[in-house]
């Protein structure tokens, strides 16, 4: 890719970012848009809704940047939860890493690369010069300057590992603190039990009671049997919708709207009073729900939520195998009642296991299918190939600007569009794996999306772009470093363009919320929706975290190969820092709290990036005929791996479960607390299926159906 | 290998076996030999020692076979423990598998193979005919007879899996039964804690007390701090030796022996009364031990045995992470006090981890070094190569008998000799890995020896013998089935000879106890040792089980390739059945009880053998130009793998720990038992280091040093 093509891409995206920022600064202050830009504040009743219009509001303001900047981590913790803190920590950690990398890269390595003569470019015309002259490929073979690259790799690795260690340590102790300061939560006292042995003589409920009062006589509290309520759920959902329409209809003043015709699309037939119509419908639904509910009481599934009096007993029930037969009475941590989600709930471990195999197969298939867009994208980047395929395009492609857009902007834009389908697909696949909580599904999807992105965006592009793509690279482990060393530096400009498109513009779009903005406008103006219909969104960690981590991977691998990418990455993280802070404060409400379980993914991904960098470095030094440096790099991946395995041993268990020490301390602290009795009373009904509560479409209906779904802190 | 060479080898070994049997039948009835052949009965005081000699005793008797045959499994369980039952179950399981295999192989597959014409042998002279005419290689390419082999593979796999499932199920429930019926054991109430945080303000003992009385106030009983007592241990051992000598000296009647000279080797210098000399020495040692003991009290290691009141609390302390920092207060199951063994005890996880890496490296090195004997052996089997290397041997090698011994008997004999060094080396390596119990060390060594045997005896022989040995076979996974299919059938005769040498003769030698017999004779006759010096041996599971499993692997892989091996394997297991029963009753005393933890190794090894057979079958059907059969075999390894993973899920946890249900039941059963208080009092001192007990070389000395080391049942 030529420098000019890259500049075109950067220009287009910079323009888009600027546009989004300006529009956001203006539109966010317009009446009505508060539901789009600060639904969280509206839901909490904190938004000032000024409906009067004045001209001053049309001027863009950057007050929001100041506000987002000033928020402390503690404020973030209380308002947005621990997961949000982890998200911000990822950004801050990356900013630290890449600020250091950018300083070293741009001021030390870049000039060194540029001074080399390996690639023999014309020194006069910078614009047509390939970007490769800034990369390590331009350094002369066997040059002693390469030792500076060598040193940079070592220093950078040590620096990143130090930061990783510090973050892991700080976050793990913060997680314990957060747990110790949290209020009692239902899921801290509850386990989910699957594989309850079914006998014809006793009901499942009696079996559960019998087993746990036998094993934990003083500590067993209660249980709720799981029932398959998908049919009632659909009915209740429909009822809610009708009830909402009815309410809005009743409150609306236009009597005209209250009538419709009973025939096709409301165009023919006799006039019907809409209020009567909906009320009849609602009664019907209520009736149906009641019949279903009474019939379902018998339909017990062999699974139950079991509540205990203390956290320590809950942990005991979790960690010790309960029954002699390991496939019976299988316990796992219960999610927060709000977090429970099981479209594919299953009690038998064989079904869970088979669906796992199916999901793995589906992921592999998806990865293979995704090679098609990747190959198209790489075809665009090689303009000559495109001309060969479609000769009639020759005329258009000879216009400089268009050819620059096509080679510079379009490839990463198309890839970005295809990639946006991946997170929803992965969420669907993860939910099929039999997880019982949204948080677990999102974490699993996050890992899937990350692996998918690294393989399909990094490796597939690198290897297909250099016509070296062969599936059998895995079968020749010795050649991997050299193949990567040849292929990776050549793709630097493509990835710079990718950072700009997928990083800058996508993040700015996230701020401006293009789609919700447009939909909300259409809904309000043409479909007569009221403000209540705009739900408060939650952070989609499974798409945001993999993107951040992928840029981290790009930055780390290209750090000494082509340092030109680093400033772009730093700018991306700066944008992300401000924008996510603003969004976490105004836009997103946490749906659940995983207690920072995303951090280990970040750690592992960074370690993988470091080791990938080392492998490429080994290849580069072989290619550059500096075999000594190549052998001296070899211990680095081993040391990094050992460091990682130390961290796993030292910190990972703290993210998986709480220790006996903390649990006992927390239990003891609450012993004297009188509100605990009240909490325990509520606990018994916390995991009752809300769909089994009596349905009554009156004003009190909403409050009836959610007994203990208060705060969602972990 | 020619049939005649194989027959020579079988003949030699058959002769040896017969010799050993006869000698055993005669010698076991001679006075004095009871210490060699039934030391266990002597130790238990059950052996009738008839010292009068009569001629009848010189006639071989087979009464012992009858006695060994009649023992029931329950008797075995009470006398030799659960591990012995598992050992016998391995043999019975293998007997069942290979009886079935032998019937199918010899009566169905063997005639089929023999009727083929692929190898075009001369039909007249059987003696010079290669054994390959009995193998699947002789079946014509593309012959429809191969479908019978195909069916046999399927039926055999189903049969083996059914037996595996049945055994796993029966043994796992037997294990629970055994646990439920066992008497309270110290290690059931104890955990070993490593990584106790050291502070200068408090002693380690106080820290342990503080922590556990805080966390388990009602259930914590006591603890014993671990101390590094290797120096005292050596002193005490030396003292024991001297004390023994003194006692025998005092009881001996020959006054001559009580004097020696003080000079070089007792030849010069003035005459000294030996009794005085030893008594002085003993006093010195006692003094030294006392000084060391008083100085060591402060030398605490940051590890302790912690005892609890109930088994359930012990399990809780084991399974829940104790401290916030996962590298502190690390718990693991305590071994039985008799089983404790830690020449390389370490409290820091980093040292354990590093020594693990070192041990893995050492194992790999050993495996590579072992290729040298393997290559020598394969050189012997190829007589022509040998003649090329050493032309002067041509004369000798032309004698038929000698060439038959060299190609038939010698290779497997040499391999057998080299292989006998492996188990002790593996025990040493395993003990360096930081295990704290003999049982753990033996289990780990058992796995190491098994992998080593399979790789170095099976794969190295197969691949080097057919000149296809390449380290990069692993890098070409697609070619593995074909390479194995070419190489494996050719080695059938070598492995038959190996079964005969390493199986038959070695097992018969095990019965006759050649080395202990000779040593005991020399010691008694020439060195004047008394009978007390002959310790009761324990079963060396780490060398016996891998051998049995390796014959299982041979039998399973050669089942349809060269069924001729099967009768030899069946005979081996028959021999083993009778001999091990006899030895378990008379010879071995269990040193510890692992509770059947060796069975999962047997299961995994059998599954591996089955999958190896499938892979070879795929290769064979490709070679034999029956691609349809080859593709239809492909699902079989997948199904076997799934079966294995089901068994792992269903039974393996039962071999790893006991369930809450059983633990609570056992605790409750003992609640009413008054002897429990007494047991608990003893428990507190069970893990006191015996080397720290007061030393006094009087008659009561022995009993002073072993407070609770009674029975060793788990």
More confident residue, A386 or A434: A434
- Residue A307 belongs to some domain of the structure: no
Do A366 and A458 have their domain in common?
yes
| DSSP 8-state code for residue B562 | -
User: The tokens of B189 are what?
Assistant: 């109430």
Q: Which residue has the higher pLDDT, B21 or A247?
A: B21
Of A319, A323, A349, the CB nearest to B320: A319
How far is residue A169's CA from residue A148's CA, in Å, rounded to a whole number? 31
Residues B470 and B601 in one domain: yes
Taking the Cβ of residue A647 and every Cβ of chain B, the question of whether any pair is shorter than 8 Å is answered with: no
Q: Which residue of B has its CA nearest to A211?
A: B661
A327/B476 CB distance under 8 A: no
Instruction: Classify residue B633: in a domain, yes or no.
Output: yes
Identify the residue whose tokens are 């510890």: B592
Q: Is A471 on the interface with B (CB under 8 A)?
A: no
CB-CB under 8 Å, B324 with A320:
no
A325 close to B (CB below 8 A): yes
Q: How many helices (H) and strands (E) does chain A have?
A: 33, 6
CA gap B39, B555 in Å, rounded: 35
Asked if residue A204 belongs to a domain, the reply is: no
Partners of residue B215 in chain A, C-beta under 8 Å: 660-661, 664
Are the C-beta atoms of B439 and B594 separated by less than 8 Å?
A: yes
**Euclidean distance between CA atoms B615 and B483, whole angstroms:** 10
Residues 6+ apart with CB under 8 A from A703: none
Write down the pLDDT at residue B710: 37
A180 contacts in B (CB within 8 Å)?
none
Q: How far apart are CA A518 and CA B677, in angstroms?
A: 77
**For residue B162, what are the CA distances in angstroms to B155, B640, B647?**
11, 11, 11
Interface list for A 209-238 with B (CB within 8 A): 214-215
Give the closest-approach CA distance of B263 to chain A in angstroms. Answer: 58
Residue at a domain's end among A281, A297, A313: A297
Greatest Cα pair distance in chain B:
92
Would the CB atoms of A322 and B661 count as touching at under 8 Å?
yes
Torsional class of A625: left (φ above 0), alpha (ψ -120 to 50), beta (otherwise):
left
pLDDT given for residue A600 in this prediction: 95
Compute the distance between CA of residue A150 and CA of residue A157 in angstroms, rounded to an integer: 11
Query: What pLDDT does A315 receive?
Result: 93
Cβ neighbours of B657 in A, within 8 Å = 320-321
Domain membership of residue A219 (yes or no) is no
Decide if B544 is inside a domain.
Answer: yes
Same domain, A383 and A290: no
Burial (CB < 10 A; 0-12, 13-18, 19+), residue A170, is exposed
Contact (CB<8Å) B653/A321: yes
DSSP string spanning B611-651?
HHHHHHHHHHHHHTT-HHHHHHHTHHHHHHHHHHHHHHHHH
Contacts of B650 in chain A (CB under 8 A): 325-327
Q: Which domain holds residue A272?
A: 239-297
Q: Is residue A205 part of a domain?
A: no
Are B160 and B215 in the same domain? no
Are B317 and A660 an interchain contact pair (Cβ–Cβ within 8 Å)? Answer: yes
Identify the pLDDT of residue A152.
94
Query: Is B172 in the same domain as B308?
Result: no
Which of A172, A316, A323, A324 to probe the B interface (max B CBs under 10 A)? A324
The pLDDT, as a whole number, for residue A411 is: 80
Task: Give the separation between CA A459 and CA A482, rounded to whole angstroms.
Answer: 14
Which residues in A lie closer than 8 A to residue B662 (C-beta atoms)? 324
- Give the confidence band of A420 by pLDDT, cuts at 50, 70, 90: confident
Distance from B351 to chain A by nearest Cα, in Å? 12
Q: How confident is the model at residue A61 (pLDDT cuts 50, 70, 90)?
A: confident
Strands A190-194 and A300-308: antiparallel
Distance from CA of B316 to the nearest CA of A (A): 6
| CA-based nearest distance A356→chain B, Å | 13
Residues B169 and B209 in one domain: no
A122-131, A587-596, A608-617, A670-679: the lowest-pLDDT one = A122-131
Q: Which of A600, A644, A524, A500 is nearest to A175 (CA)?
A: A600
Is B320 near chain A, with CB under 8 Å?
yes
Q: Is the Cβ pair A322, B660 closer than 8 Å? A: yes
Other residues' Cβ atoms within 10 Å of the Cβ of residue A282:
18
Model pLDDT, residue B148 = 92
pLDDT at residue number A166: 95
Q: Write the ipTM.
A: 0.81
Q: Are B96 and B163 in contact (CB under 8 A)?
A: yes
Q: What is the pLDDT of residues A632-669, one digit of tens each?
A: 999 999 999 989 988 998 899 999 999 998 999 888 88
Q: Would residue B673 count as lying in a domain? A: no
Under an 8 A CB cutoff, do A323 and B654 touch? no
Check whether residue B574 and residue B520 sit in a common domain. Answer: yes
B320 with A321: Cβ contact below 8 A: no
Interface mutation target, options A660, A663, A664, A668, chain B, most CBs of B under 10 Å: A660
Instruction: Give the pLDDT score at A294.
Output: 73
Give the pLDDT of residue B50: 55
CA distance B176 to chain A (A): 8
Q: How far apart are CA A174 and CA A81, in angstroms?
A: 12
Strands B330-333 and B190-194, by their bridges, are antiparallel
Residues of chain B with pLDDT under 50: 122-128, 466-469, 699-714
Chosen domain end from A228, A263, A297: A297
Give A656 to chain B, closest Cα distance, Å.
10
Kindly state whether residues A169 and A290 are assigned to the same domain: no
In degrees and rounded to multiples of 5, residue B192 shows phi and psi of -95, 130
What is the structure's pLDDT at A267? 57
pLDDT of residue B311: 92
d(CA B648, CA B168): 10
- B199 and B177 in a common domain: no
* Chain A residue nearest residue B656, CA to CA: A321
Contact A215, A312 (CB under 8 A): no
For chain A, how many structural domains are there in total? 2
Quickly list DSSP for B185-228: -GGGGEEEEE-PPP-SSS-HHHHHHHHHHHHSTTTEEEEEEEE-
Residues of A in contact with B654 (CB under 8 A): 324-326
Could you tell me if B168 and B195 lie in one domain? no
Q: Do A659 and B349 touch (CB under 8 A)?
A: no
B361 located within any domain: no
Query: Would you give the DSSP letter of residue B694?
Result: P
Distances (CA, A) of B135 to A326, B112, B131, B493: 44, 9, 7, 10
Q: Is B310's Cβ below 8 Å from some Cβ in A?
A: no
Q: Is some CB atom of chain A closer than 8 A to the CB atom of B474?
A: no
DSSP per-residue string spanning A310-334: SHHHHHHHHHS--SSSTTSSEEEEP
Whether A324 sits inside 8 A of B650 (CB atoms) is: no
- Same structural domain, B317 and B385: no
Q: In this complex, do B664 and A322 lie within 8 Å of one another by their Cβ atoms?
A: no
Interface residue of A177, A320, A322 to substitute, partner B, most B CBs within 10 Å: A320
**CA distance linking residue A635 with residue B17, whole number of Å:** 54
Same domain (yes/no): B380, B286: no
For residue B272, the surrounding DSSP H or E stretch is strand B271-273
């Amino acid at each position: 890719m030529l420098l000019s093509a890259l500049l075109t891409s950067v220009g287009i995206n910079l323009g888009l970012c600027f546009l989004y920022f300006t529009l956001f600064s203006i539109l966010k202050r317009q009446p009505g848009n508060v539901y789009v830009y600060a639904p969280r504040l509206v839901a909490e009743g904190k938004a000032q809704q000024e409906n009067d219009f004045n001209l001053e509001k049309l001027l863009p303001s950057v007050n929001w940047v100041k506000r987002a900047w000033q928020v402390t981590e503690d404020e973030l913790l209380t308002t947005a939860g621990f997961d949000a803190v982890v998200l911000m920590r990822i950004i801050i950690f990356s900013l630290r890493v890449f600020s250091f990398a950018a300083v070293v890269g741009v001021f030390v390595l870049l000039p060194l690369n540029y001074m080399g003569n390996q690639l023999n470019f014309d020194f006069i015309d910078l614009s047509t010069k390939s970007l490769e002259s800034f990369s390590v490929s331009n350094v002369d073979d066997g040059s002693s300057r390469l030792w500076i690259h060598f040193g940079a790799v070592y220093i950078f690795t040590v620096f990143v590992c130090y930061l990783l260690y510090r973050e892991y340590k700080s976050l793990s102790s913060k997680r314990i603190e957060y747990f110790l300061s949290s209020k009692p939560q239902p899921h801290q006292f509850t386990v989910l039990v699957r594989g309850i042995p079914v006998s014809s003589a006793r009901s499942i409920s009696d079996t559960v009671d019998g087993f746990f009062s036998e094993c934990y006589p003083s500590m067993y509290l209660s249980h709720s049997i799981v029932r398959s309520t998908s049919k009632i759920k659909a009915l209740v959902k429909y009822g809610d919708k009708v009830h909402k329409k009815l309410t809005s209809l009743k409150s609306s003043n236009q009597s005209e709207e209250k009538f419709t015709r009973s025939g096709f699309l409301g165009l023919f037939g006799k006039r019907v009073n809409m209020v009567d119509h909906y009320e009849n419908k609602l009664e019907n639904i209520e009736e149906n729900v009641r019949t279903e509910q009474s019939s379902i009481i018998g339909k017990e599934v062999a699974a139950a939520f079991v509540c205990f009096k203390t956290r320590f007993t809950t942990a005991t029930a979790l960690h010790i195998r309960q029954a002699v037969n390991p496939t019976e009475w299988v316990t796992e941590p219960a999610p927060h009642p709000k977090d429970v989600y099981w479209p594919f709930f299953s009690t038998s471990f064989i079904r869970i296991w088979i669906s796992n195999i199916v999901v793995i197969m589906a992921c592999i298939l998806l990865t293979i299918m995704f090679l098609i867009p990747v190959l198209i994208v790489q075809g665009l980047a090689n303009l000559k190939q495109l001309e060969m395929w479609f000769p009639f395009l020759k005329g258009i492609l000879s216009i400089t600007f268009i050819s620059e857009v096509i080679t510079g902007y379009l490839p990463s834009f198309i890839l970005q569009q295809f990639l946006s389908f991946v997170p929803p697909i992965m969420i669907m696949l993860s939910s099929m794996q039999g997880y019982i909580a949204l948080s677990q599904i999102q974490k699993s999807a996050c890992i899937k999306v990350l692996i998918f992105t690294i393989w399909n965006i990094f490796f597939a592009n690198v290897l297909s772009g250099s016509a070296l793509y062969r599936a059998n690279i895995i079968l020749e482990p010795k050649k991997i470093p050299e193949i990567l060393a040849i292929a990776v530096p050549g793709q630097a400009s493509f990835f710079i363009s990718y950072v700009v498109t997928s990083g800058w513009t996508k993040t700015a779009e996230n701020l401006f919320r293009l789609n919700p903005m447009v939909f909300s406008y259409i809904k309000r103006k043409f479909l007569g929706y009221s403000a209540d219909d705009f739900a408060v969104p939650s952070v989609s960690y499974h798409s945001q975290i993999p993107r951040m981590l992928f840029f981290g991977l790009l930055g780390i691998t290209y750090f000494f190969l082509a340092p030109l990418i680093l400033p772009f990455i730093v700018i991306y993280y700066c944008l992300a820092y401000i924008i996510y802070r603003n969004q976490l404060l105004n836009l997103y409400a946490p749906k659940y709290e995983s207690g920072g379980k995303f951090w280990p993914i970040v750690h592992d991904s960074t370690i993988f990036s470091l080791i990938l960098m080392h492998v490429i470095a080994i290849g580069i030094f072989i290619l550059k005929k500096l075999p000594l440096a190549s052998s001296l790099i070899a211990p680095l991946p081993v040391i990094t791996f050992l460091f990682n395995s130390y961290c796993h041993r030292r910190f990972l268990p703290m993210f998986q479960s709480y220790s006996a020490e903390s649990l006992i301390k927390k239990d003891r602290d609450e012993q004297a607390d009188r509100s605990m009795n009240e909490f325990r009373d509520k606990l018994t009904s916390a995991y009752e299926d809300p769909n089994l509560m009596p349905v009554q479409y009156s004003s009190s209906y909403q409050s009836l159906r959610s007994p203990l779904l208060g705060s969602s802190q972990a």
